[in-house]
Amino acid sequence: MSSHHFVKEQQEPALLILDTKGFGYENIAPLLEWSPTVLVTQEEVHTVISWGIKIDLIIASMDFQKENYSLLEEQYPVKFLGVSNEDFLEEGLQYLIATKHGAVNIIGFDHQQVFGLEAKLSFLDLVVWDAPMRYFPVKNGQFKKWFAGASLQLHAPEGTFIEIQEEGDSQIQRITYATFIEVEEGTVVFKSDKTFWIGEFVMEV
């Protein structure tokens, strides 16, 4: 790899794998391009190892650590990150904040629970993968992106208003449960005075 492609540690989004249900290696592989820090929960360790992915930290209870101590040698230089009350997500995010990571892809998290993550958005850029979709937050009131024509989910507390501007057209969408919109190919601008999440299909359904 040439020197100008070198990515400084902690600069690339970390990968936090909570649940692999609905995902295969081919879905995760593109996220490994820049050798991110990889954290995996104890339940998913053996699946992720079978994919040939190099794990940096296993988030695990004391019991799991004792029973699987051999993993430290087999997967060297992997380390255990202790967890209490099985709050794997919180433990992983706190570690990433403490180690000055700026962003993380969270694999296998229920998008219905993303509002509980919003307190972390001032510390980390979060992208949530809930098969077959990927959700990212809009926290600064406005977001602009070019889409190739897509079906998107707008996810926010019920009653939130989001303005959607496409070329020559503007509409106000009031969010209800599972609000999906179709956008044409081109640049789309989203605006709201509240934090909201945009879901994109990243896998075939």
User: Which residue, of 131, 162, 191, is where some domain finishes?
Assistant: 131
Instruction: With a cut of 70, say whether residue 177 has pLDDT above it.
Output: yes
Closest C-alpha among 110, 186, 189, 203 to residue 155:
110
Q: Domain ends where: 110, 131, 152?
A: 131
Asked if residue 148 and residue 67 are part of one domain, the reply reads no
Question: DSSP assignment of 28-94, as one string?
Answer: HGGGGTT---EEEEGGGHHHHHHTTPPPSEEEE-HHHHHHTTTHHHHTTT-EEEE-STT-HHHHHHH
Domain termination residue (choose one: 104, 131, 158): 131
- The one-letter amino acid code at 131 reads A
* Predicted local confidence at residue 9, as pLDDT: 59
- Do 63 and 89 share a structural domain? yes
Q: Does the global pTM surpass 0.75?
A: yes
Same domain, 174 and 86: no
If asked whether residues 96 and 151 sit together in one domain, one would say no
Residue-wise pLDDT tens digits, 129-167: 999 999 999 998 999 999 988 999 999 999 999 999 998
Residue 37: how many CB atoms within 10 A of its CB? 19
Q: Omega before 77 cis (within 30°)?
A: yes
* pLDDT for res 130: 97
Q: Is the pLDDT of residue 179 over 70?
A: yes
Range of the structural domain that residue 153 is part of:
138-201
Q: What is the pLDDT of residues 64-84, one digit of tens each?
A: 999 999 999 999 999 999 998
> Residue 28 and residue 194: Cα distance in Å, rounded?
30
DSSP secondary-structure letter at 100? T
* Residue 149 shares a structural domain with residue 177: yes
pLDDT tens-digit map of 6-41: 444 566 899 999 999 999 999 999 999 989 999 999
- Report the CATH number that the domain containing residue 61 is assigned in CATH: 3.40.50.10240
Mean pLDDT of the chain: 92
Pairing of strands 169-174, 161-166: antiparallel
Residue 90 belongs to some domain of the structure:
yes
Percent of the chain at pLDDT > 70 equals: 94
Domain count, the chain: 2
Residue-level pLDDT at 10: 65
pLDDT at 1 over 60: no
Whether residues 119 and 74 fall in one domain: yes
Q: Encode pLDDT of 100-126 as tens digits.
A: 999 999 999 999 999 999 999 999 999
**What H or E segment, with its residue span, contains residue 197?**
strand 196-201
Q: Does residue 197 sit in the same domain as residue 175?
A: yes
